[in-house]
Amino acid sequence: MSLFKNDSDIYEEMEGKRSSHTFQRVVAIGVFVALGFAVGNFYASVNKDEVTANEPIPVVTTSSVSNSSALSIADIAEMTADSVVEISTSVQATSYFYGNYTATGNGSGVIISSDGYIVTNNHVTSGANKVTVTLRNGKEYEATLIGNDAKTDIAILKIDATGLTAAKLGDSASLRVGETAVVIGNPLGKLGGTVTNGIISALEREITLDGKAMNLIQTNAAINPGNSGGGLFNDKGELVGIVVAKSSGLDVEGLGFAIPVNDVKSVINDIIDLGYVSNRPFLGVEFASSNTSSYQSNYGFFFGFGGQMMYQYGAEVGNVVEGSAAEKAGIQARDHIISIDNVAVSSGSDVSSIVSEHQIGDTIEIGIIRDNKTMTVKATLGEYKGE
């Protein structure tokens, strides 16, 4: 046997080794790949279980928080402008210098039914002898005052017309600060149908108007005299507020306010159905124009003749409503109400505020001054039936 292999034998052996090595490599690679897939699937299944268990955190995008039904300012104006009207009023007045004369006023209103019911502010129509409503198309109607509510500053008018464009009432409780706000009204009493826009600047802003505390919507949409009673609309074109006031002054800009429509829906319905707001306690006194009233006392320091001193105190009664709780309690015109249930009062708004916190049928103690004498009377509150 030769110790040496011939060339062909060596070649075949080398080829055999190569084949064996190649086979081993293929097997190794296959095992490695299989192992990789197995490991990958293991981690994937683990991660999948973790995601399923913990729930993925959603990505907040603009589309997820924005209202897809939001309209453009132009769309809102086109949708709602026909529902906003101009209001002009005439009041017969008397002046020492001018005698009898007619004073005029202006405001805005919003149509709330196709057959002619219109909501506006009480202060727009208060004391008016004649109220004229002008539609966007220029048609004029003499309006009838159906009823009003000084507490919420709301009045309802009716015109003899049909087929009108009524505003759709929205939900003021769903408003968010920063949302689009559109105001339509009659600024300066000459620019009916004016559209201004801004945002909802604040909600439930407590503002005192004419001695009454009110929770109002604040907006930076431009509001001017004549806008009172006009509409505040949201980005869907829904009526969410009745414009009531603006803050004015050299350093004041972009501060307008509206009554939330949710606060007055029941008031509107009551006035239309009954002519007044139901379930309101009523004392039955009307106060003199001055917030505080004077009475004379023979006590204290001398002031003028007769040793009388003039005090400013209490709320002077200007008139007592016939058949009211006040009349039954013996309250008279020119009496000065100085307290209710031992709480001192100094104005008619103080009296109204305390009375509104009671229920119909409650009995209250009223401290009064009459002919320089202090006395106490008791009154059982009735129900307000309108003016």
d(CA 274, CA 135): 26
83, 88, 123, 235: which one is catalytic? 123
d(CA 344, CA 292): 13
Helix (H) or strand (E) holding 282: strand 281-282
83, 172, 201, 228: which one is catalytic? 228
Active site residue 123: yes
d(CA 247, CA 229): 16
**Do residues 168 and 237 lie in contact, with contact meaning Cβ atoms separated by under 8 Å?**
yes
Active site residue 350: no
d(CA 266, CA 40): 66
Nearest to 80 by CA among 260, 223, 230, 269: 230
**Do residues 117 and 143 lie in contact, with contact meaning Cβ atoms separated by under 8 Å?**
no
153, 235, 335, 350: which one is catalytic? 153
DSSP state of 185: E
**Do residues 296 and 334 lie in contact, with contact meaning Cβ atoms separated by under 8 Å?**
no
Helix (H) or strand (E) holding 41: helix 7-54
Half-sphere exposure of 163 toward its Cβ, with a 13 Å CA cutoff? 0
DSSP3 helix / strand / coil % (the chain, rounded to 5): 25, 35, 35
**Do residues 136 and 85 lie in contact, with contact meaning Cβ atoms separated by under 8 Å?**
yes
The alpha carbon of 346 is separated from its chain's Cα centroid by a whole number of angstroms, namely 29
Q: Which residues of 260-269 are buried (b: 16+ CB within 10 A; e: fewer)?
A: bbbbbeebbe
Residue 35 makes CB contacts below 8 A (sequence gap 6+) with: none
Q: Which residues are catalytic?
A: 123, 153, 228
